[in-house]
Structure 1
């Protein structure tokens, strides 16, 4: 009889333990499931920054997230900065929210390759023939200027390695769509103090929000003609006016830089 009671007691105990296990495991499992599908948010980035994770790890999480839901108006950028989020992480958030997204390898080696981004750019000049341009990535900086927030991408070095004396070079790019409005020829400002080149991005006002955050400032844009080549997946871009001596690039999330000499 005792053995029967013992068996019943053991069975009952196993049922209780099983119920407890279900109660303990279910929230964890649900959290894991929701975490795998939920969009990454500003709060997630701030949490990682406060826990002491480095910028490279946070950027990998941003670029590797299946979806993101970042809030990046001027007030949001201020809150991120005050929370200790670094400028290069904020730059990655802006790039991802603007349609970018890259693996950690792509982020380390050059600009993100996403729809509309030229993965291959050839510079065509009268003096040097055809030169393949290599993409480089920049870091973002922000400066408060009275009623606006100035945003710049900063690129290492004061001069591009590729140089030309041709004041009206052309570019061959691969693009399935019309490149205008997505691919830009831009001028870069040289900063001797910081030993770099910068590109002003977007237009942000404290009371008017952020506009054209993914596009270069109009003062840095160079007008060009776009002619479709071959099967329509390749385009030839040519400035409408001669370029002055200085630093330039083809911009679409990343930069393909070159310089024009006298």
Structure 2
């Protein structure tokens, strides 16, 4: 009790002398502690989310930051999501890393920061008949199922069929990436659940003992092997499955699913 009164007395004295400004107890101080004077990072965003700030407030902070240094590879996106960062905040991070928004950064001539030059979530499907289709990413929800000693994790996406369809059994995909996309961008097959009216992708699993395995990466049974060839200015890659795709539902997975279907 005595120590408590002593702390109160010291704080009161510091406030009186002006050593601790009153705004120490305001949200602006939390922002300052989170971002400091350096570039805003993933850790700053996670800190604000865990402090309970709304998505709108965090997005305003992202837009207003003088610089950002976000890491937005697939594993980074999974970590952000599992740390409680909302989907719309992650989307704002992607937009800012791509050079969008932020009045402080606009018109500065500074190249976009982030894991990839150009929007990583920009996928074009190229078919053998010369048709190009822009794929749009969709978000899903995580579900887990206990299976004996293993916890199975699935990413579930709405609808039983993709809007984009092709008869091409081996389409190619143009993606933006400054690095080799294998191990970060996946071509996957998804399972249709007509009962739940969705499509699911099995992810890495965890055991009740022995830790977690391949968390955030699709299960190997759902991965489609592909060849990756650098094209354009070196910041783009052309991904082509090594074998024909059977009729069914597919997508490019990198935190979101860029879905398409193959018809007979």
TM > 0.5 between the two? yes
CA distance in 2, matches of 1:235, 1:103: 24
Please tell me whether the aligned partners of residues 46 and 83 of structure 2 are also in contact (alpha carbons under 8 angstroms).
no
Please tell me whether the aligned partners of residues 60 and 104 of structure 1 are also in contact (alpha carbons under 8 angstroms).
no
Q: Residues 1-262 of structure 1 correspond to what in structure 2 (within 5 A)?
A: 19=13, 21-22=15-16, 26=20, 29-30=23-24, 33=29, 36-38=32-34, 57=54, 92-93=81-82, 101-103=90-92, 115-116=115-116, 118-127=120-129, 129-262=131-264
Larger % of helix: which? 1
Please tell me whether the aligned partners of residues 189 and 249 of structure 2 are also in contact (alpha carbons under 8 angstroms).
yes
Q: Report what 2:105 is aligned to.
A: none
Q: TM-score, normalised by structure 2?
A: 0.64
Shift of 1:35: 6.3
In 2 relative to 1, CA 47–101 (structure 1 residues): closer, same or farther, beyond 3 Å? closer
Q: Secondary structure at the residue paired with 1:132?
A: strand
Shift of 1:142: 1.3
Please tell me whether the aligned partners of residues 59 and 92 of structure 2 are also in contact (alpha carbons under 8 angstroms).
no
Shift of 1:30: 4.6
In 2 relative to 1, CA 64–216 (structure 1 residues): closer, same or farther, beyond 3 Å? farther
Moved over 6 A (4+): 40-47, 62-68
RMSD between aligned alpha carbons? 3.9
In 2 relative to 1, CA 90–161 (structure 1 residues): closer, same or farther, beyond 3 Å? same
CA distance in 2, matches of 1:151, 1:27: 48
Q: Which moved more, 1:235-244 or 1:122-131?
A: 122-131
How many residues align structurally?
209
Q: Secondary structure at the residue paired with 1:37?
A: helix
Shift of 1:137: 1.0
CA distance in 2, matches of 1:95, 1:120: 25
Larger Rg: 1
Shift of 1:22: 3.7
CA distance in 1, matches of 2:262, 2:60: 34
Q: Secondary structure at the residue paired with 2:91?
A: coil
In 2 relative to 1, CA 31–206 (structure 1 residues): closer, same or farther, beyond 3 Å? farther
CA distance in 2, matches of 1:212, 1:64: 33
What 5-or-longer segments of structure 2 have no aligned partner? 1-11, 35-42, 63-67, 71-77, 96-112
Shift of 1:255: 1.2
